[in-house]
Amino acid sequence: MEDLIATADGAVALGMGLTPQSVERRQKVVGLTSDDLGRIARIREPIVRHAEEYAGAFLAYLGELEEARHFLSNREAVELSRRLKVDHMIAMVSGRYDVEYAEQRLKLGRLYSRAGLETVTFLGAFADLLRRVSATILKGARSPEEAFDDFVAFEKIAFFDIGIIVDVMVFERERIISRQQDSIRELTTPVLQIRDRLLMLPIIGMIDTHRARLLTEGLLHAIRANRAKVVVMDVTGVSAVDTKVANHFLQTVAASRLMGATVIVTGLSAEVSQTLVNLGVDLTGLQTIGDLQGGIEEAERLIGYQVVYTAPQVSEGRRPPSPSA
């Protein structure tokens, strides 16, 4: 598990482009100078001393927030984040802000996002943490002016960290979204064979250019693989149709025809058909039938099937066992 997470961390670092150059760039963006490093060295000792306390306070602050309840219910994540937070506080005043440092922030960010901590909640707790650190700095400083300058230096590091952690959280979210989109794409374009040489293509949800393309390609290959003669394309699950979508349907039908298959479109709802008429889309090239049942019946007729009703048959499995068995 640890290994898996470490590999995933590496992948995220790569995806985010965390290189020595980009880390240096991030330092420049927050305005970190060698002057600041000197100030941080001055406040190192008290902050390291209080590191455990800060980590505890950070989690305690989250405990007050309802938004973090889900995160805190994950005991393992909480324990791990407490440990990482202590390391974090110590590293923040270490004076070394290289790729390795950035990767540790990345690890923390991934832990938060995996455990479902929202960016806003995290920022709130981090702000509280900064307040505590400022109190420590003020206590140890010779004058308020000095404390202020020291804190500003520390704050730059804090913003450097926030930059990375928020980036990771956003990156993770985007990754989840794109993965879900992929699975939606795969799930909703099945081509089913209902009879020999008769295929059915149920379409559900939104159709965009990309999906329409996948759908058409999938259908064309299925036509060849199953030697289909007729395809019933059911669009009951398509709630919105515009000129573009209608065009995609027409293309699918035309391409299937080139391969010698007839396409019957079924399940155009009242709203959809009215929209199409209002849009002025010419669908005369489409063979449409009201519902799926009608479409299948027509398809059977086209291929030459004749369905005959007989009385219900008792299946073998439901028969009571005979005495000899």
Partner 1 sequence: MAVPIMRQRDMLIASIQVAQTDDDLLGLRDQLAAQVGDVRAKGVIIDVSALDVMDSFATRTLRSIAYSSRLRGAHTIVVGISPDVAFAMVQLGLDLGAVSTALDLDDAITELEAHRQIEHQA
CB of 106 to partner 1, least distance (A): 42
Q: Which helix (H) or strand (E) segment is 263 a member of?
A: strand 262-266
Half-sphere exposure of 176 (CA within 13 A, CB side): 9
Q: Which of the residues 260 through 279 are near partner 1 (CB under 8 A)?
A: 260-261
Q: How far is the CB of 255 from partner 1 (least distance, A)?
A: 4
Q: Which of residues 234-263 bind partner 1 (CB under 8 A)?
A: 251, 254-261
Query: Which segment (72-80, 118-126, 227-235, 266-274) binds partner 1 by CB under 8 A?
Result: 227-235
Residue 305: HSE in the Cβ half-sphere, 13 Å Cα cutoff: 15
Site for partner 1 (CB under 8 A): which residue of 208, 217, 242, 282? 217
Least CB distance to partner 1 at residue 17 (A): 35
Q: Does 224 bind partner 1 (CB under 8 A)?
A: yes
Q: What's 189's DSSP letter? A: -
Nearest one of 197, 236, 192, 239 to 218, comparing CA atoms: 192
Name which of 15 and 260 has its Cβ closer to partner 1: 260
Total site size for partner 1, rule CB under 8 A? 18
List 49, 173, 221, 301, residue binding partner 1 (CB under 8 A): 221
Longest dimension (CA), the chain: 102
The 8-class DSSP code of residue 316 comes to G
Residue 209 interacts with partner 1 (CB under 8 A)?
A: no
Q: How far apart are CA 111 and CA 87, in angstroms?
A: 14
Q: Please identify which residue in the block is written with the tokens 């990309």.
A: 210
Look up tokens 């993770």; give the residue: 172
Does 210 help bind partner 1 (rule: CB under 8 A)?
no
Which residues are near partner 1 by CB under 8 A? 216-217, 220-221, 223-224, 227-229, 251, 254-261
